[in-house]
Structure 1
Amino acid sequence: MGSLTSVFGFFFYYDAWQQRFVQSAVAIFIGLLWFLCGFPFYGPRRLQPSPLSIMLRTLIAAWRKRHLKYQINLDEEDQNHSLTDHLELLNSAAVKESPADDNLRTRWRLCTVTEVEQTKLLLDIIPMSATFIVYGMVKSLGNTFFIEQADTMRGGTPLVLLQLIQLISKSAVNKGYKMVLGKRIQRIKRRYSDGVKIGIGMLTSILCCAVASQVESKRLKDLKKKGLLDNPEAKAPMSASWLLLQFIFLGAMEGLAGDGILNFFGHYVPDSRRYAPVFTSSLTGFGTILSIGFIAIIDYYSRFRYKESWIGESVNESRLDLIYRAYVMLAVLNCFIYAYVASSYSYDNIIGRPENEQEIPVLEVQQQQETAAGDQQNKQEQEEYQLQRMPVR
């Protein structure tokens, strides 16, 4: 309905943009009503907690029971369900203080062993996830400044064609990596394939920004030679085909880093079939938002250092070439940080599907009192805790 309404609006309201928006709003409202009419036929919904809500509940439960000291005492056959020593401060979240109280989970005071271990793995991927934000920042350039560049250059190469080449480059590079390097790296280094793919994609982002900076420098020089640099409506005397290489690198970056990030979250996020795309899209969008702040910082720096702004009222009055160079420096710095974080990350802790868990154990506390031996003046009672596995559905 939205497509048909858009076509109808463009044909019959060519010069009246407000009519196009009204037609689109009506189509969206009708589609919403049609969607709501289907609610009785969708069946009951089974709500499941998200990994972030589980992590928050685990952190709160561990903080409330941070005073608890205990020792794990599990049989050998139960070692697969035991808590690890990594981030052991969170282990207290899986301890059931009162065996008779079954409502601790509703009060955010008790988590299962599986939830605690998943929280640890989610906390471990935070440093890696932080390096993915720069990918979203560079990607935002393709949706903003790259389009403005193409619009201020002579015709011959439509913008649609450049974007189509970008999509072809994205698909070709992704498939080429899988055929040439992906299987070999995965066979030799197991899950390191995702990390290598993301790293190559981040290197490609450096090339993308560097090529864009060189092309923009040439465009500004050509405008200056023709005396059109101060004309915001002027078209540079060069074809938009000069942008072809940077759009190819942009598509290659998306095919390598974008798909690699999606696969990374698909391996290390619980219920990855639902949440891996969400995590990827969230970080990409967050990078787009930070890109606005980064450009604002660049503008402040240019005003403070050079007494002029690199962001003008139009592309011809701006210094996009210098902005691209700033992105090159940011991408290079991010590559070094990513290389350090990726080399120290453990790729063997892959989270399993929650539906594959037959039972979710918690640890039950049994309190015993014993008297410490020693001097009569320093004599005091100490608590010793033993943990036993108790299956909970």
Structure 2
Amino acid sequence: MLPSITKSKCQLDSTFIFCSQHSQVILFFISLYLVAIGQSGHKPCVQAFGADQFDEQHPKEQRARSSFFNWWYFTMIAGCTATLSILNYIQDNYSWVLGFGIPCVVMIIALTVFLLGTTTYRFNIRDNDESSFLRIGRVFIVAVRNWQKTLSSNTIEEECDGTLRRQSSEQFNFLNKALLTSKGSKDGKTCSLSEVEEAKAVLRLVPIWATTLVYGIVFAQVFTFFTKQGKSMERTIFPGFDIPPASLHSINGLAIVLVSPIYDRLLVPLARTITGKPSGITLLQRIGTGIFLSILTVVIAAFVEIKRLKTAQEYGLVDDPNATVPMSIWWLIPQYFLFGVSEVFTMVGLQEFFYDQVPNELRSMGLALYLSIVGVGSFLSGFL
């Protein structure tokens, strides 16, 4: 925070109230939104860019791409786990400026290293200059215009160009009407079958996106409710040192760091020998396993909360929100650890699923849809 130029009204009469000047608050929120904008461009694009470095037509590289998503999440969480405890301690005991300055310097170094490899990267060149968003949007518009028309079976004779892994065209048949000439179209241009299949591929993601919002809600609880639980519990490790409640997030990261190599090196090869699939199990099975583990996490958290409230009642601390309940913060380890295991299945599975199921030119958007699950889930968790 910037130092106050004038004495704040919050510090008059030898009292101190937590408030800031309007200019400081405005600058603070501008900084938060700048971080959000930067993350919106960085997170979906850099991961899609990394996965694009593997050749889908090469069997060995195709298997390596599946492992890429595992190790991407592994390294990201490993970095978060290493810095969480350190930065939380620095921010709580030294300076917030230093706590934010360290990751700023690290990001500058990371950007420099990334740019140094520009000449070695593999780029996918688009054959069509038209935006994929425009093509998909035109499919929906033309299909709506032609909703009263009937579509004969002879109309669908065009073959896909091979850029999209085609599924059954029997799904979302109403979009096939985009193959007909629209009366409202000035140039009489119709949509190709490949464009219709692109729109169908995006539409197929909607049910998965909607059903996994529940996982996004649980994901938000780890950083909100779990932290509030820890803040009210006994956090003293040894005299003179209290563990910051947010530092327990490192347990979540530790679970991911431990389980990710086990999953990639042991579970996947074992499942591959049984199912014959390169990924061992299907992506939907992987996502579903993680959602089931998240349900168990919430159940454990509920029992811990019952125990915490019962202890608070026994000591008459229910009406004192600032009191420390005589219950060790280590009670929270199981729920943090189990949810970390669920992330290995669901979060990584969602990344690969949304990358794999969209047209090549929309893969960044696919990963953005994956990230929106966490974002929308966080907003929905506010109603709990």
TM (norm. structure 2) is 0.58
In the TM superposition, what whole-angstrom CA distance separates every residue of 1:41-67 from its partner, at most 9, and x where no partner exists?
Answer: xxxxx986355x644432221121231
Partner of 2:139: 58
Shifted more, 199-208 versus 170-179: the winner is 170-179
Matched, 1:128 2:128: no
Matched, 1:193 2:273: no
Partner of 2:169: 84
Partner of 1:354: none
**Does the 8 A contact of 2:235 with 2:329 survive in 1?**
yes
Partner of 1:49: 131
1:103 corresponds to which of 173, 187, 199: 187
Identity of paired residues, percent? 27
In structure 2, distance between residues paired with 1:184 and 1:216 = 38
- Give the Å deviation of 1:143: 1.8
Larger radius of gyration: 1
**Does the 8 A contact of 2:350 with 2:370 survive in 1?**
yes
In structure 2, distance between residues paired with 1:173 and 1:63 = 48
**Does the 8 A contact of 1:136 with 1:288 survive in 2?**
yes
In structure 2, distance between residues paired with 1:30 and 1:161 = 25
**Does the 8 A contact of 2:160 with 2:194 survive in 1?**
no
- Give the Å deviation of 1:267: 0.9
Matched, 1:181 2:270: no
Task: Give the match's secondary structure for 2:382.
Answer: helix
Task: Give the match's secondary structure for 2:348.
Answer: helix
**Does the 8 A contact of 1:266 with 1:273 survive in 2?**
yes
In structure 1, distance between residues paired with 2:330 and 2:182 = 69
Task: Give the match's secondary structure for 1:198.
Answer: helix
After superposition, the CA RMSD in angstroms is: 3.7
Partner of 2:40: none
Q: 1:93 is aligned with what amino acid?
A: A
- Give the Å deviation of 1:93: 0.7
Which structure shows the bigger proportion of residues in strand conformation?
Answer: 1
Matched, 1:137 2:210: no
In structure 1, distance between residues paired with 2:34 and 2:316 = 53
2:368 corresponds to which of 245, 268, 278: 278
Structure 2 residue runs without a partner (length 5+): 8-15, 38-127, 237-242
In structure 2, distance between residues paired with 1:220 and 1:229 = 7
In structure 2, distance between residues paired with 1:127 and 1:54 = 22
Task: Give the match's secondary structure for 1:238.
Answer: strand
Change (3 A) 1:16 1:277: same
Partner of 1:165: 251
Task: Give the match's secondary structure for 1:241.
Answer: helix
Partner of 1:115: 195
Structure 1 residue runs without a partner (length 5+): 1-5, 33-45, 296-393
**Does the 8 A contact of 2:233 with 2:327 survive in 1?**
yes
Task: Give the match's secondary structure for 1:228.
Answer: coil
Change (3 A) 1:235 1:26: closer
- Give the Å deviation of 1:97: 6.3
* Within-5 A mapping of 1:255-270: 255-270=344-359
In structure 2, distance between residues paired with 1:284 and 1:28 = 17
In structure 2, distance between residues paired with 1:174 and 1:50 = 34
**Does the 8 A contact of 1:58 with 1:119 survive in 2?**
yes
Task: Give the match's secondary structure for 2:175.
Answer: helix
Partner of 2:108: none
In the TM superposition, what whole-angstrom CA distance separates every residue of 1:346-385 from its partner, at most 9, and x where no partner exists?
Answer: xxxxxxxxxxxxxxxxxxxxxxxxxxxxxxxxxxxxxxxx
Change (3 A) 1:115 1:184: farther
Task: Give the match's secondary structure for 2:327.
Answer: strand
TM (norm. structure 1) is 0.57
Change (3 A) 1:136 1:179: same
In structure 2, distance between residues paired with 1:28 and 1:211 = 33
- Give the Å deviation of 1:268: 0.4
Change (3 A) 1:204 1:49: same
In the TM superposition, what whole-angstrom CA distance separates every residue of 1:81-130 from its partner, at most 9, and x where no partner exists?
Answer: 699344333222123469xx88345xxxx322111012222223322222
2:152 corresponds to which of 40, 51, 70: 70
* Within-5 A mapping of 1:284-323: 284-293=374-383, 295=384
